[in-house]
Chains A and B, each alone.
Chain A
Amino acid sequence: MVKRRATRVGEWIIERLIQLSGMLGIILVVLIFLFLLQNSLPIFKERTLGELVFGQRWSPTHGDGQFGMLPLLLGSLYVTVGALVIAVPLALAASVFVAEIAPRRMREFLKPAIELLAAIPSVVFGFLGLLVVGPWIDAHVEIIKVGQFAALGSVMLAFMALPTIVSICEDAFHNVPREIFNSSLALGATRWQTITRALMPAARSGIIAAILLGLGRAIGETMTVLMVTGNAQVIPKGLLGFLKPIRTMTATIAAEMGEAAYGSTHFHTLFTIGLFLFIITFAINTIADVIVRRGEKDIA
């Protein structure tokens, strides 16, 4: 009897621990937010939100330090928008190809190949951009004349976001009931008509969610953009801005946190950038999740 009671107590403890680790996801999200907030707040005693967000100059070591984030926000915007403009059409084409067109053997090869592409560390992409692609462009493409610029980051990010978008889109196609596809074919539509007018509209919510998750991945990507976009905190202007060096929010944190003294204005501002990134990605992921759930309900 004693042994049984001991087992019961042991089980009770274990089950509470399991419950606790189940809650850990929520606890962690809240903790990350609070730590970022706590380390950001002191900056607002010195500067207003408007000064930080719309300030045009980022120069932490200049005098008292200038902490205008506009160049960094626009840098992130340029690189990310550029990445999506490249990645979305390629990813849509690739996911339709993998889901509906590729011969079965080829599909069995393509799916793991795409997963492997997703597994390559971002520092390796940065390394390749820095040592191979950048110098090649510098030497061979007259109009650019630099080896590190915004569009190079966009291209690399596009390839890094591709696997995320493709695999979620492909899942979305897979979840569309086969009857929809077959009835369209039975009505005399070609496969291409069926894909564009029956399959893709039915998978709409999944496609949008995939693009949003790709967007989240691109905004948060750090090492690659740090290494290939040129590290220049200038405000990009017009379309030519894509061919000039810039600096993103993520790259700024990675490049400068090492030298920012603990508790300094610089330190707190870098945490504020982190807080903005957290809020942006949180919003994107939550919206994507809501869209996916709504889509699941529609299909059901």
Chain B
Amino acid sequence: MSAEGRHLIDPRVTEKFAFGLLWLVMFIIAIPVVGIIGYMLYRGAGALNWELIVAAQGGLYPAIIGTTYLVLLTTAVAAPIGVGAAIYLSEYARPGPLLRLIRLAIINLAGVPSVVYGLFGLAAFVILFGWNRCLAAGACTLALLVLPLVISASEEALRQIPKGLREGSLALGASKWQTIRRVVLPNAMPGIITGLILSIARAAGETAPILFTAAFYSLSDPFPNSVFDPVVAMPYQLFVMSTEMPDVADANKWATAFVLVALVLGLNVIASIVRTKLRRRRW
């Protein structure tokens, strides 16, 4: 009996139909995504003007400044710890139950809901440490949230450095740490920086973790004087404007959304350009 005999419909016809269906599904996904994002860029770009950006009251300027402070401080906290953890995982850790446990912990950290990070930040930094709602508490909370991202990106970058390079350095009499600092880290730096850019993008867009740890909305005094002052952040401003302030002109909301999305997507594009450049390198 021929292969076709066992099928009611010729498998090649089924295949054509199935592939057609998949193309259709791709359009079903792409149309709302492209449509809505396109509409947002259109409305946002239309609403955006220089006065709205620089206005210190009700404009975007305080939120841009606040978000910049937040992500810089977040990175300052997350980068050393995250890269340190990645160095441990790639250079020091031996396979075994401990390493298995560490990896499981990192996977789970990446899966903790962002609002739960917010609760932790509230309990630990705001209440226990007595920092109150402030830049430092928000940045520490965000740092924990992006930590898994920093660790996995850095570890991947470190693992791509060939063994021979390390062995060469060790053979010249360098200690293990000297090898890591002078040979491994500098070569892995572009990959590590890609990871850091991605985590900045992530931190810039998160709202739930800063909801009770750092963010506030103020027209009169929006700028923090120290790390122990609350900040106006872009995602929080978008949230407050769209849920609690019906009087605010739609243009302000669209402009805020536009700048936030442009910032986050821009950082992602930069990171992927850096990454593609890296791929071309051959050892």
Contact = CB atoms under 8 A, between A and B. Distances in A.
B264 A94 contact: no
Interface string A185-219: 00011111100000000000000000001001101
Interface string A133-152: 10000000000000000000
Contacts of A25: 85, 102, 105-106, 109, 147-148, 151
B268 interface: yes
Interface in B97-142: 101-102, 104-120, 122-124, 127
A257 B212 contact: yes
Q: Size band of the A side of the interface?
A: 35 or more
B120 A35 contact: yes
Interface stretch (A11-19, A50-58, A172-180, A234-242): A11-19
Interface in A67-103: 89-90, 93-94, 96-97, 101
B15 A190 contact: yes
Contacts of A181: none
Given A11-B175, A22-B93, A119 B265 contact: yes
A208 to B, nearest CB: 15
Nearest to A35: B123
A285 to B, nearest CB: 4
Interface string A15-53: 101111111111011011001101100000000000000
Contact of A220 (B33, B116, B272): B116
B193 interface: no
Q: Size band of the B side of the interface?
A: 35 or more
B112 A281 contact: yes
B189 interface: no
A220 B12 CA distance: 43
A39 B238 CA distance: 30
Given A25-B105, A250-B115, A192 B120 contact: no
Contacts of B92: 15, 18-19, 22
Candidate in A130, A162, A188, A220 with the most chain B CB atoms within 10 angstroms: A220
Contacts of B243: 130, 227
A93 B201 CA distance: 29
Contacts of B261: 120-121, 124
A193 B14 CA distance: 9
A219 B115 CA distance: 11
A292 B80 CA distance: 30
B36 A132 contact: yes
Interface stretch (B24-32, B49-57, B162-170, B218-226): B24-32
Contact of A101 (B19, B29, B33, B88): B19
A21 B119 contact: no
Given A11-B175, A26-B105, A124-B261, A94 B268 contact: no
B115 A220 contact: yes
User: What does DSSP make chain A's interface, helix, strand, loop or mixed?
Assistant: helix
B253 A112 contact: no
Given A25-B85, A97-B23, A271 B123 contact: yes
Contacts of A128: 36, 40, 257
A18 B84 contact: yes
A274 interface: yes
B228 interface: no
A123 B26 contact: no
A54 B165 CA distance: 61
Nearest to B111: A285
Interface string B261-278: 100110011001000000
Given A119-B264, A221-B113, A254-B208, A38 B123 contact: yes
Contacts of A101: 19, 22-23
30 contacts: A14-B177, A15-B176, A21-B80, A21-B84, A24-B147, A35-B123, A36-B119, A93-B22, A101-B23, A119-B264, A121-B205, A121-B260, A123-B235, A123-B238, A123-B260, A131-B253, A132-B39, A159-B29, A213-B111, A220-B115, A221-B113, A254-B118, A257-B119, A257-B122, A257-B211, A281-B111, A282-B108, A285-B108, A286-B104, A286-B107
Interface of A: 7, 11, 14-15, 17-26, 28-29, 31-32, 35-36, 38-39, 89-90, 93-94, 96-97, 101, 112, 115-117, 119-124, 126-128, 130-133, 159, 162, 188-193, 213, 216-217, 219-223, 227, 250, 253-254, 257-258, 262, 270-271, 274, 277-278, 281-282, 284-286, 289
Interface of B: 3, 11-12, 14-15, 18-19, 21-23, 25-26, 28-29, 32-33, 36-37, 39-40, 80-82, 84-85, 87-89, 92-93, 101-102, 104-120, 122-124, 127, 144, 147-148, 151, 175-178, 201-202, 204-208, 211-212, 235-236, 238-239, 242-243, 250, 253, 257, 260-261, 264-265, 268-269, 272
